[in-house]
């Protein structure tokens, strides 16, 4: 029983270490950052557009 718990503890420890290493890599890696483009949108408020939007 002690041996099984020891093996289980080692496996869980390795999994936690792998997750921590992956989280550190994601945090420290220099991924490309893109600026969002600004969109200019005009919205009409006529009765036909309002009726079509209520569908």
Both tokens assigned to 25: 């890599």
> Which pLDDT score, from 0 to 100, does residue 41 have?
87
Closest CA to 29 of 40, 41, 21, 38: 21
- Comparison of pLDDT for 53 and 14, the residue scoring more: 14
Percent helix / strand / coil, the chain, rounded to 5:
60, 0, 40
> Which pLDDT score, from 0 to 100, does residue 32 have?
81
> Which pLDDT score, from 0 to 100, does residue 39 have?
87
pLDDT band at 53 (very low <50, low <70, confident <90, very high): confident
Q: Where are the domains of the chain?
A: 1-30
> Which pLDDT score, from 0 to 100, does residue 5 have?
95
d(CA 55, CA 45): 15
Instruction: Please write the tens of the pLDDT for every residue from 10-37.
Output: 999 999 999 999 999 988 887 788 888 8
């Amino acid at each position: 029983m002690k041996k099984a718990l020891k093996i289980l503890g080692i496996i869980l420890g390795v999994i936690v270490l792998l997750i921590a290493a992956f989280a550190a890599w994601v945090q420290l890696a220099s991924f490309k950052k893109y600026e969002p483009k600004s969109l200019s949108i005009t919205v009409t408020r006529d009765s036909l557009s309002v009726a079509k939007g209520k569908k």
